[in-house]
Structure 1
């Protein structure tokens, strides 16, 4: 299991200092999630895994600035807000911060205010000229110019005015930017836009594939239900009306399949009726013999079998709704219960007719 650690870094876009999970850092870039304040605080403290789809920002990593304790990292970050030396325990020369990250009342172990994501600040020609001069001077042995990130842009320009003129002779106060600055800004904007579009396209693609899968499944089911095949033709071994409990058990096993269940619902719905009881009577008369009906009651009372738990009972209820015969489920259940109760009367009536 990877150990958690936090690193104190400087966001170059707005010169803010923060202790962030070390696994959010890749090279000189930091991936920063776009989350609400409370969730962002939890993500930092829990050292959540990095997601490369997050927006990225340029950073500077302080020397010896990685810690395995978040409270200690935050304490060092507070020192870095006032001084460029993380190892300093005493207050040195205070430098102006561009953005206040945490309130002065927060403690080392608990923080109620979370830093806002760094905001990208447009560079002008003076900024780029100064950074260019800094890069060139790093190659010199004796004349290396140290650029303190906590000193404002204006102060640095005043100190290195001569060097700027040597590097960028075309820079003057009337120009807002030069072509190099504009090209870099446009390039950064283009890359960021491309990354955002890729993330959006990926999400859309996943949604489309899910919809296509559902559409394919529904299409296959519709082909079955549109009378291309019927329940009776698919299961010719089932002979209605059912005469034994074993035959009912076979039908129950078949109706466990969703497609077969819907097929029988469609077949029963076609039977129709003048009212709910008439519909139930027509369906059950073709489905069960009266001798089988005598063995069942709706709830299985008086030693009889429970009809309400059978799949065929659910099929009849759904068929009544599909045919717009029943106002609600209860009406269909009452009609089935009544038909089962009258099984004895139907048997006596049949016997009297024979005599």
Structure 2
């Protein structure tokens, strides 16, 4: 079961709640992360890797009731102790001794040697973290992530290209495919010779599909001008004798087209 323990650090005279398995005798493993990353590691009870962490000296003071099975309680205890200098008191105590924080000057050169780097082979001091195994793992993960992102980009470009080609094919199919149906010339005998044959054709053309097919077929006759197209179309559809019985306006008692 994961537990957290409240400890006091000698170097900064501060109190913090840390995973219990980070504590080694009178020292505490401390990851070389940023403050936010360290806080996240503590809350998530991240397992330590001694070969790439540093050790911080703990106070020899022993606190009672300082280990808990959740992070919230030791966190509250550590904040209370940091403020009151009293970690051993119960949570329900009403009397609180307030701690007066004194301003102190921090000497950079004095504190340089506070942290001792711990390697997997020995406890010899080291100030160079570039050989840290964790750093190597992070670099490897970064390269893997970069490769995955590159593959995703290639896949996205390929899919986009395929979709574009499909759209082009669909557009061509819609513009070039014409449902010609059954040829008009195979159903009726052209040119038409009498009114009854003309009525049969008109009945056939009442259906939209038949009309579209007939228009498409007749339009292929072509012509240099509108007049040439009409003359060529009519000559193939009706005889001169039948055409003479009709006019555009029904003049001289003729039938209207």
If asked which structure has higher relative contact order (CA below 8 Å, sep 6+), I would say 2
TM norm structure 2: 0.41
Please report the TM-score for the alignment, with normalisation by the length of structure 1.
Answer: 0.32
Question: Where is the helix percentage greater, Structure 1 or Structure 2?
Answer: 1
Question: Which one has the largest radius of gyration?
Answer: 2
